[in-house]
Amino acid sequence: MPPETMQDDYLYQPCDLLPPVGENLMTHLFHNPHEANEKAITYLRSPKKRKQKLAICQQRGTNIGWGIHLVEGWAVTKLWLSAFAVFSCSFVFAVAWSVLKHDVQGAFGVADWFVGLATLGLGSLQAVSQGE
């Protein structure tokens, strides 16, 4: 979407969703393009130039235009935060177990199982989401 400083140059309906039409509607229209029309909310929320048409620069061969760029895949930051949370919780568990039961080897053995199961779970989720 265009930056707010360029809002006067573009016409579109602001929206809190990203993508601005919602992923379910976008998927439906992708699979059924005959159901989309110019009065649909997807058209209204797509940025359009107000004062001039988007044209190709004759010297560079391109020109800057605004639209919607979708990136499909995993949210890497959330994965790292999840992995850090699992590691932190298992470490706290291991320290607590070793202090309470005076068994460092057993504590970290159980904590390693937590980390291993979390790794296996995240790997399984990724394999299932990619259809493998």
pLDDT in tens, 7-44: 677 766 666 766 666 777 777 877 887 877 655 666 66
Cut 0.75: pTM above it: no
**Percentages of the chain per state (helix, strand, coil), in multiples of 5:** 55, 5, 40
CB atoms within 10 A of CB 77: 8
Structure tokens at 72: 């499909």
pLDDT at 1 (0 to 100): 61
pLDDT above 70: residue 79: yes
pLDDT above 80: residue 67: no
Of all residues in the chain, the percent with pLDDT exceeding 70 is: 61
Residue type, 49: K
Inter-residue contact 1 to 47 (CB < 8 Å): yes
Report the range of poorest mean pLDDT among 32-36, 43-47, 125-129: 43-47
Q: What is the mean pLDDT of residues 60-79?
A: 69
Q: What is the mean pLDDT of residues 75-100?
A: 89
pLDDT at 94 (0 to 100): 93
